[in-house]
Amino acid sequence: MVIWDRDAGMRRDPFGELERLSRRMNRLFGPARASGLLDAFPPLNVWSDNDKAVVTAEVPGINKQDLDISVENDVLTLKGHREVEQPGEGESYRRHERGHGSFRRAIGLPFSVDPENVQAQYRDGILRLELPRHEASKPKQIEIS
């Protein structure tokens, strides 16, 4: 769609201008997004009850051998590495949005965790952790005498 801009004395294509602006924004923010500066990686869901916390993390394209999971008191730390995909001979990137490189994410949990009984499963790019509450941090019922 082309319109006539009377003030400028020329024809303009507003949708073409929006597309050019979008390409410029992608170039400006693309490397920051790929390096994790704009988004926390991996994205997580966390929920809990009185006995355990459950954490799921999206880590597609990462081998489970490249994941390092640790828990200390009430802090869960996920570390890992994703290799960059290299284009084949004579090929070049036209769009490069998938992040690569090392990552580290530490999150606070609502209570201290029993590290000896943590269970981890990895399937279809989703890491699922069940983190049982440490007995010492569970609420105690106080009897009144």
Q: What is this structure's pTM?
A: 0.66
Domain ranges of the chain: 1-39, 40-84+100-137
CA pair distance 48, 37, nearest whole angstrom:
28
Dihedral of the CA atoms 108, 34, 58, 105 (nearest 10)?
-20
What is the length of the chain?
Answer: 145
pLDDT of residue 8: 61
pLDDT in tens, 127-144: 999 999 998 888 888 899
According to CATH, the topology of domain 40-84+100-137 is: Immunoglobulin-like (2.60.40)
Average of per-residue pLDDT across 115-125? 94
